Amino acid sequence: MLGKSPWKMAVGATAIALLAAGCSSGGSGGSDSADKTIVVGIGEPQHLIPSNTTESNGAEVLDALFYPLIKFDDKNEPVEVAAESITSDDNKVWTVKLKSGFTFSNGEPVVADNYIDAWNYGAYGPNGQNAAYFYERIEGYADLQSEDPDGDGPKEAPEPKAKTLTGLKKVDDNTFTVTLSAPFTGWKSVMGYTAFLPLPKAAFSAPGVIADGFEEKIVGNGPFKMKGAWQHDAQIQVEKVDDFKGDVPKVDGVTYKIYQDDQAQYADLVAGNLDVQTTIPIESLASAPSDLGDRFKKSPNSVFQFVGFPTFQKEFANADVRRAISMAINRQEITDQIFLGSQTPAAAFVSPVVAGYRPNSCGEYCTYNPTKAKQMYTAAGGPSEIKITYNADGGHKAWVDATCNQLKAALGVNCTGVGEPKFADLLTKVEKKEPVGLIRLGWIMDYPLMENYLGPLYSTTGSSNYYGYSNPAFDSLVKEGSEAPTTEEAIKKWQQAEDILAQDMPVIPLRFGQNVFGHSERVKNVNVDLFQKLDLYKIEMA
């Protein structure tokens, strides 16, 4: 999820606000309720339908509104939450039993059909869901996709062969089975991802059709419910669900303030108008310890920061051009001078938090060598101008400018950083293959497996492969790893796949992150997890 699921595509430092946190947006609720409502800063989500939410802002909100089948313990092992049990004898047919008594916030009971209907909607190709890739392992997925008959882009594609996954079967109201097209030892962990949340019957105006307006006031099965509608570019408010059957948060509600500028968000935090900023902007790292005192916090996360090459553009089609640009970047200098050591240089394509990580799997192409970089770049006929496009709502300008200065010095090129107002705008341009140059991206794991840093980002059909990379040998190794009978055997295959990335360099690994966050004096027990999300079940009023 770059982002928050992230947990998907990570926005980076998020942005900020238009309204003072202490101000109510109207509506009912006395002072007691207001006093137990916290204010959390985010950027504008791209989507809120779970199967379409692959960035961190949307995932942050969905974490309040939904209760997942599983979560992860301190050892990154999956633990049942909404599920009573998830079992398999062969890693291919999985039986999911739901805990009884749970309801959606509109009162509908949570039953097996809610998962089956939501996943079928997400997997159906014509619906164009960003997370559709995550259903690919389920039997029948291929029949839900439209085939372009002549392979030359959008014309009227034929209807898919089917509208529902043959691998999803209802056993009873509280039980369903998931049959995969091939065994996958990590499937239980995968079902902790945002795309595997349920949707109520109210989500659909007809079978497979999301009702108009549902996303604006989405209904989930979690501890909070929407209060009013999504106020785009302003805020999203949620309030506690009465008699919630699962773990109950200690706060009564959350106002997600949507910011376009992370420095404004930080100013609100320091002024006490914001309760949590999950990513302190890099411009404020030097002053944050004195500004916030013991409310300035750090914790591990799974963020991988990188820039992607639009490999479909001829300027970057030559792997030597990509390798040279990577070698021209002094990662250590930027992490020291811009991030003040709050991030670490990356010389691998997977995060240190997952099993199978190797510290220098990228090898020489992630090692700073400006002399060799210049020779290779010149010999490969690299472009005289380089553009790096980033989302301006994520606090990236300083390091992008520093990177451009390094590329200018090492390669003798003209390099410019271009800010798009919002991360959603950047993703939209990338999806349309508009000429944005190098793409600033980040990844937060969806589930704690090495495969999650490989398949979605670099597989030919990967959900977050925004750069058009395709290598059949890579695809094959990722698949072989996924189907291996043990985790140890899987890791060996995935490491071989990562070795291919180190040669092809479809992206440049830059940094591994950690959570650097802050909170107000109103709250305590503030934790930000490996997925860069606030733990809503631990935070409480001070």
Provide the CB-side half-sphere exposure for 164 (13 A, CA): 13
Q: What is the rounded distance in angstroms from the CA atom of residue 542 to the CA atom of residue 539?
A: 9
Pairing label, strands 224-226, 235-240 = antiparallel
For residue 8, the model assigns a pLDDT of 47
For residue 498, the model assigns a pLDDT of 98
Q: What is the rounded distance in angstroms from the CA atom of residue 467 to the CA atom of residue 479?
A: 20
Strands (E), 380-486: 385-391, 414-420, 438-443
For residue 54, the model assigns a pLDDT of 85
List, in order, residues 6 or more apart from 369 with CB less than 8 Å away. 327
For residue 454, the model assigns a pLDDT of 96
Neighbour count for residue 333 (Cβ, 10 Å)? 13
For residue 446, the model assigns a pLDDT of 85
Alpha-carbon 302 to chain mean position: 10
For residue 30, the model assigns a pLDDT of 34
For residue 430, the model assigns a pLDDT of 78
For residue 157, the model assigns a pLDDT of 67
Q: For residues 143 and 167, is the Cβ–Cβ distance under 8 A?
A: no
Instruction: Give strand pairing partners of 502.
Output: none
For residue 21, the model assigns a pLDDT of 26
Q: What is the rounded distance in angstroms from the CA atom of residue 390 to the CA atom of residue 415?
A: 13
Alpha helix stretches (DSSP H) within 192-337: 262-271, 288-292, 319-327, 331-337
List, in order, residues 6 or more apart from 320 with CB less than 8 Å away. 376, 377, 379, 380
Delineate the domains of the chain, giving CATH numbers in brackets: 68-205 (3.90.76.10), 301-514 (3.10.105.10)
Q: What is the rounded distance in angstroms from the CA atom of residue 4 to the CA atom of residue 394?
A: 13
**Residue 201, both tokens:** 């019957």
Phi, psi of 139, deg, nearest 5: -55, 135
**Residue 430, both tokens:** 């990338």
What predicted TM-score, i.e. pTM, was given to this entire model? 0.79
Phi, psi of 490, deg, nearest 5: -60, -45
Neighbour count for residue 355 (Cβ, 10 Å)? 14
For residue 34, the model assigns a pLDDT of 53
Counting as low any pLDDT under 50, the low residues of the chain are: 2-8, 11-33, 149-154
Q: For residues 299 and 527, is the Cβ–Cβ distance under 8 A?
A: yes
pLDDT in tens, 27-43: 333 334 457 999 999 99
Nearest to 6 by CA among 141, 131, 117: 131
For residue 79, the model assigns a pLDDT of 95
**Residue 418, both tokens:** 């271009």
For residue 32, the model assigns a pLDDT of 45
For residue 156, the model assigns a pLDDT of 62
Task: Scan for tokens 């640009």, then name that residue.
Answer: 325
